[in-house]
Amino acid sequence: MMPLQALAVTETTPGGSLLVLGIVMPAVALVALIGLGGRGARAIVIAALLFQLYVAVRVALLVAGTQSPLAYVVGGFHPPLGITLRADGISALMMVVSAAIFLAAAGFAWKDFAQPGGKPEARAPLIFWSAMLAMASALNLLFTSSDLFNLYVGIELLTFAAIPVTAIKGGADTLRAALRYLLFAVFGSMLYLFGIVLLYGAYGTLDISGIAAQLQPNAATLAAAGFVTVGLLAKTALFPFHLWLPPAHAGAPAAGSAVLSALVVKGSLFLLMRLWFDTFPTLREPADMQLLALSGALAVIVGSVTALRQQRLKLLVAYSTVAQIGYMFFVFSLAPKGTGEAIAATAWTGAWLQVVAHAFAKAGMFLAAGLAAEVLGHDRIRDLGGLSRRAPLAVLAFALSGLSLMGLPPSGGFNAKFMLLVAALAGGQWVWGAVIIAGGVLAGAYVFGVLARMMAEPAAGASLQAVGRGRQWIALGLSAVAVLMGLLPLEPVAFLAIGRAL
């Protein structure tokens, strides 16, 4: 048991400036992109994203090497006056995952969003690349900031970057989906902001560790926790706030959908986990946590059943995101305060494996779905026949991702769900265990349903376009990471506990 003071940032650690660079360098690239009017747009983006990966890997190595978090005091002003950044094990993990998936998505979108030769600048490339850079910056901020208001600006930035990606195609349906997404997100952030107002009123600071150190379970704090949680749930699209997600994620270009489903919903989820496990750990009353787990369970069941009933491939993949998000909420109930540390650590590792495995699997799956739509010219599930001939690697990517989503071994999804299941059974919470298994069976139904169609003969008269191997390999690479995570031993990962008061 680490003392609570371990959360506090006292001084900038060696390598702490990496955290600033992780947030600020994409912003520098964004400014360059807009200022230069499209000249060298892709070179700037790729340089920025490669640098992101370098920063993330350096941060992870430093955290692993010192077994302690990195920290940075921005401007030299300590809380409560100033803002600090802090990267513990989970921050470092998510920074690496995010940088890797951004690079893969950028590679996939490389040709689609090239500036047309001879023309000064086109709409789609500038919008798409700007939004990607802003999302990369905002996510790193969400993973590392220790200041609740700074985090508010971060979640808003993330939303404002996600909306143009959703709306970029410009049809009435995508515009409607984007508008609904935006209204939902703004409503969520207002609730979050009100929670912060209450916390500032009660504790006179916005610093996560500062609040954690003086936390009292009084009415104002409970109300604040409630508002913050509901606001973030709306942004994370947990059942029953999930309705905005599928059309928004399905309407974006494939590389955009991949990033939205794999990473953007995890931004607000990360904040939620940070708050309940680091800021309000003592407020985790079993009854409230069961409510979160119940919402998660309903998300798993409703999301999977709705996915099964979809007729469009991208919508099916998007509803599967609704279901997979649900699993992550079991951790709130399975790692309660005060139970045996072993169970809590198992559930904690299971939840983060689920976050990461889903990120890779879903990114791969959305890219595969995008390739399918390109080959066939549509994404109607019943007419997917012939895909396995034209784009065999994309079908393989879909299958491997499906393996992880179902939770069959060997895959990261299996490890994640198995550890959650073990924690559920060890804690006597067999209902959640049953939901985990049922969700896997339902995922199996929709994944195999799609795969069978993909393997079928092409429909008579269907004209199939060829797609390049390069992009198929990118999709396959992402799915393969999700599967290879299954080689990890089935035990708590110590790295995920670095710098935490668990």
Partner 1 sequence: MSAALLFWLAGSGLIGLSVYGLIVNPHPLCKLLALNLLGSGVFLLFGVIARRGASAGLGGDPVPQALVITGIVVAFSATAIAVALLLRLHTEAGEASIDEEDGQP
Partner 2 sequence: METGFDIALALLLLCVGGWSVIARNMMTAVIVFIAYGLLLSLAWVRLHAIDVSLTEAAIGSGATGLLMVIAAHKVAGDTKRVVQLSRGFHVLAAVFAALVAVGIAALAFVLPGEPSSLAAPVLERLPDSGLGNPVAGVLFVFRSFDTLLEKVVLLLALIGVWALARDADWGGVPGLRLFRERHSVLTLLARTLPPIGFVFAIYMTWAGADVPGGAFQGGTVLAAMWILVMVAGVRRPPRISSPPLRLAIVAGPVVFLAIGFLGFLAPGAFLAYPEGFAKPLIVAMETALTLSIAVILGLLIAGPPKGEDAP
List the structure tokens of 478.
């992402």
If one asks whether residue 167 binds partner 1 (CB under 8 A), the answer comes out as yes
Which residue number, 171 or 470, has a Cβ lying nearer to partner 1?
171
Instruction: Tell me the C-alpha distance between 6 and 213, whole Å.
Output: 10
Query: Is residue 134 close enough to count as binding partner 2 by CB under 8 A?
Result: yes
HSE on the CB side for 389, CA within 13 Å?
11
Task: Look up residue 287 and give its amino acid.
Answer: A
Choosing from 33, 151, 178, 275, the residue that interacts with partner 1 (CB under 8 A) is 178
- Build a one-symbol-per-residue string for 208-247: x at contacts with partner 2 by CB under 8 A, - elsewhere: ----------xxx--x------------------------
State the Cα–Cα distance between residues 112 and 427, nearest whole angstrom: 49
Backbone angles phi, psi at 134, to 5 degrees: -65, -40
Residue corresponding to tokens 């680490």: 2
Exactly one of 35, 65, 117, 338 binds partner 2 (CB under 8 A); that residue is: 35
Q: How far apart are CA 8 and CA 318, in angstroms?
A: 38
Q: Answer yes or no whether residue 311 interacts with partner 1 by CB under 8 A.
A: yes
409 lines the binding site for partner 1 (CB under 8 A): no
In angstroms, the first-to-last Cα distance of the chain is: 7
CB of 459 to partner 1, least distance (A): 17
**Phi, psi for 207 (deg, rounded to 5):** -80, 130
Residues in the interface with partner 1 (CB under 8 A) total 31
Q: Nearer to partner 1 by C-beta: 51 or 194?
A: 194
If contact means CB under 5 to 8 A according to the sort of partner, which of partner 1, partner 2, none does residue 54 touch? none
CB of 221 to partner 2, least distance (A): 9
Q: Do 241 and 191 touch, CB atoms closer than 8 A?
A: no
Count the residues of the shown chain that bind partner 2, applying the rule CB under 8 A: 59
Interior angle at CA 94, CA 93 and CA 99, nearest 5: 105
> What radius of gyration, in Å, describes the C-alpha atoms of the chain?
22
Q: Which of 204, 217, 340, 468 binds partner 1 (CB under 8 A)?
A: 204
Contact status: 286 vs partner 2 (CB under 8 A): no
Question: Which of partner 2, partner 1, none is residue 180 near (CB under 5 to 8 Å by kind)?
Answer: partner 1
Residue 74 touches which of partner 1, partner 2, none (Cβ within 5-8 Å per kind): partner 2
Complex with partner 1: residue 2 or 243, whichever CB lies closer = 243
Q: How far is CA 75 from the centre of its chain?
A: 29
What is the C-alpha to C-alpha distance for residues 388 and 386, in angstroms, rounded to an integer?
6
* Closer Cβ to partner 1, 168 or 400, answer by number: 168
CB of 189 to partner 1, least distance (A): 8
3-state helix, strand, coil in the chain (%, to 5): 75, 5, 25
Binds 120: which of partner 1, partner 2, none (CB < 5-8 Å by kind): partner 2
Question: Which of 14, 65, 75, 117 forms a contact with partner 2 (CB under 8 A)?
Answer: 75
- Mask of contacts with partner 2, 169-208, x by CB under 8 A? -x----x------------------x---x--xxxxx---
Q: What is the enclosing helix (H) or strand (E) of 85? A: strand 84-87
For partner 1, the binding residues in 132-151 under the rule CB under 8 A are 149
CA 300 to chain centre: 16
**151 contacts 171 by C-beta, under 8 angstroms:** no
Place of tokens 């066939």: 376
Q: For residue 473, what are the CA distances in angstroms to 46, 337, 393, 492?
A: 18, 44, 7, 31
What tokens appear for 262 in the block?
């794999």
Evaluate whether 355 touches 269 at the Cβ level (below 8 Å): yes
Task: Decide: helix, strand or coil at residue 204.
Answer: coil
Contact of residue 123 among partner 2, partner 1, none (CB under 5-8 Å per partner type): partner 2
3-state secondary structure 39-82: CCHHHHHHHHHHHHHHHHHHHHHHHHHHCCCEEEEHHHCCCCCC
Verify binding: residue 20, partner 2, rule CB under 8 A: yes
Residue 222 or 490 having the CB closest to partner 2 = 222
Q: Please report whether residue 200 would count as binding partner 1 according to CB under 8 A.
A: yes
List of residues contacting partner 1 (CB under 8 A): 81, 149, 152-153, 156, 159-160, 163, 167, 170-173, 175-176, 178-180, 182-183, 186-187, 190, 193-194, 197, 200-201, 204, 311-312
Provide the binding-site residues for partner 2, judged by CB under 8 A: 12, 17, 20, 24, 27-28, 30-31, 34-37, 72-77, 80-83, 120-124, 126-127, 130-131, 134, 137, 141, 149-150, 153-154, 156-157, 160-161, 163-164, 167-168, 170, 175, 194, 198, 201-205, 218-220, 223
